[in-house]
């Protein structure tokens, strides 16, 4: 029970931090320079520019509606963490500007806002939540179609960003697209670098020894798959495991020490879901 509470507290604090950075990106870089956004956040900025509706109100209402979709397609844990993120983002959006940064070189706030957006969403994803909006749809695309989160979000965000040309003008619409692209690149890069999983396939004549060693290193399930070589028609089990980059660095030399002739294949994994092991990239 202590471990569960510790995890919940850790995730909750990460989501609060990510929400704070997210609000800074909007309040200090996007809105002051009339740069839009995608998804629900884009609608909040459009509502602010066109009707002067407070972003916090629009964010809370629209994301609350979208969370109903999340209850249908996503795990309840992700939904509750996402609700936590929505509450904090809405609260932080009410804060006054912290940086008071302004420049006539609007490409700078577009890039800075995109970088902060990508970092904030990565932190929230690491806390097992989402910022709702297009991230809900991105999570669904990732889970059922294997599309990367950042790429799926960019696709949905552009559906809002491009029509915003009628509110913020052509130049700011282009800046919005640049900001969305930067945030997608940053998010994908961070998820791939710090949250990635690898699949390792091992073919060896010393399967039992390697499996025993790997079991002590990974402390998780390892799968043995029946395989048959075409040329020699020789049957032998093939070892398959999902692990982190850090574990790969341990596995490869370990396998080589047991069987220098072992055939090892390491591949990137975009989605992993299972008991005690879940990571959506």
Instruction: Tell me the pLDDT tens digit for each residue of 174-216.
Output: 988 898 889 888 887 887 776 567 788 888 888 888 888 888 7
pLDDT surpassing 90 at residue 18: yes
Could you give the 3-state DSSP secondary structure of residue 220?
Answer: coil
**What pairing do the DSSP bridges indicate for beta strands 235-243 and 277-280?**
unpaired
Could you give the 3-state DSSP secondary structure of residue 94?
Answer: coil
Highest mean pLDDT among 131-135, 190-194, 236-240, 241-245: 236-240
pLDDT surpassing 90 at residue 43: no
Q: Provide the pLDDT for residue 272.
A: 54
CA separation for the pair 280, 196 (Å, rounded): 9
Q: Contact 234/228 with Cβ under 8 angstroms?
A: yes
- Which domains, ranges and CATH numbers included, belong to the chain? 7-193 (no CATH), 197-279 (3.30.70.120)
Q: Percentage of the chain surpassing pLDDT 90?
A: 7
pLDDT surpassing 80 at residue 138: no
- Across residues 106-121, what is the average pLDDT? 91
Q: Provide the pLDDT for residue 189.
A: 81
CA separation for the pair 211, 221 (Å, rounded): 10
The count of C-alpha atoms lying within 13 angstroms of the C-alpha of 226, restricted to the half-sphere facing its C-beta, is 2
- 3 — pLDDT class (breaks 50, 70, 90): very low
CA separation for the pair 212, 219 (Å, rounded): 11
Please give the DSSP secondary-structure letter assigned to residue 132.
Answer: S
Q: Provide the pLDDT for residue 115.
A: 94
Q: Provide the pLDDT for residue 195.
A: 59
Mean pLDDT, the chain, integer = 80
CA angle 181, 186, 190 (to 5 degrees): 150
Could you give the 3-state DSSP secondary structure of residue 270?
Answer: coil
CA separation for the pair 112, 99 (Å, rounded): 13
Q: Contact 240/210 with Cβ under 8 angstroms?
A: no
Which run of H or E residues covers position 26?
none
- 277 — pLDDT class (breaks 50, 70, 90): very low
Highest mean pLDDT among 37-51, 177-191, 238-252: 177-191
pLDDT surpassing 70 at residue 255: yes
Could you give the 3-state DSSP secondary structure of residue 240?
Answer: strand
CA separation for the pair 143, 158 (Å, rounded): 21
- 14 — pLDDT class (breaks 50, 70, 90): very high
Which run of H or E residues covers position 216?
helix 207-218
Q: What distance separates the 2 farthest-apart alpha carbons in the chain?
A: 74
Q: Provide the pLDDT for residue 71.
A: 72
- Across residues 82-97, what is the average pLDDT? 85
Q: Full-prediction pTM beyond 0.85?
A: no
Tell me how long the chain is: 281
């Amino acid at each position: 029970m202590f471990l569960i509470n510790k995890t919940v507290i850790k995730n909750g604090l990460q989501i609060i931090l990510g929400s704070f950075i997210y609000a800074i990106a909007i309040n200090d870089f996007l809105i002051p320079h009339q740069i839009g956004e995608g998804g629900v956040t884009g609608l909040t900025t459009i509502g602010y520019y066109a009707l002067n509706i407070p972003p916090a109100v629009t964010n809370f209402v629209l994301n609350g509606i979208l969370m109903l979709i999340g209850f249908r397609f996503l795990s309840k844990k992700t939904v509750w963490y996402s609700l936590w993120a929505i509450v904090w983002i809405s609260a932080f959006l009410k804060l006054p500007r912290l940086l008071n940064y302004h420049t006539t070189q609007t490409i700078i706030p577009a890039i800075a806002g995109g970088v902060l957006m990508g970092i904030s969403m990565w932190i929230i994803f690491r806390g097992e939540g989402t910022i709702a909006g297009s991230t809900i749809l991105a999570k669904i695309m990732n889970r059922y179609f294997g599309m990367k989160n950042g790429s799926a979000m960019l696709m949905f965000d552009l559906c809002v960003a491009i029509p915003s040309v009628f509110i913020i003008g052509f130049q700011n619409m282009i800046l919005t697209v640049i900001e969305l692209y930067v945030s997608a690149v940053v998010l994908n890069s961070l998820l791939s670098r710090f949250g990635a999983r690898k699949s390792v396939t091992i073919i060896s004549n010393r399967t039992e020894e390697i499996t025993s060693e790997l079991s002590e290193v990974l402390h998780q399930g390892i799968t043995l798959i029946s395989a048959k070589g075409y040329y020699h028609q020789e049957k032998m089990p093939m070892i398959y495991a999902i692990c982190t980059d850090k574990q790969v660095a341990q596995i490869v030399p370990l396998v080589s020490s047991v069987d220098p002739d072992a055939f090892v294949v390491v591949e990137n994994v975009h989605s992993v879901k299972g008991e005690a092991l879940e990571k959506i990239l």
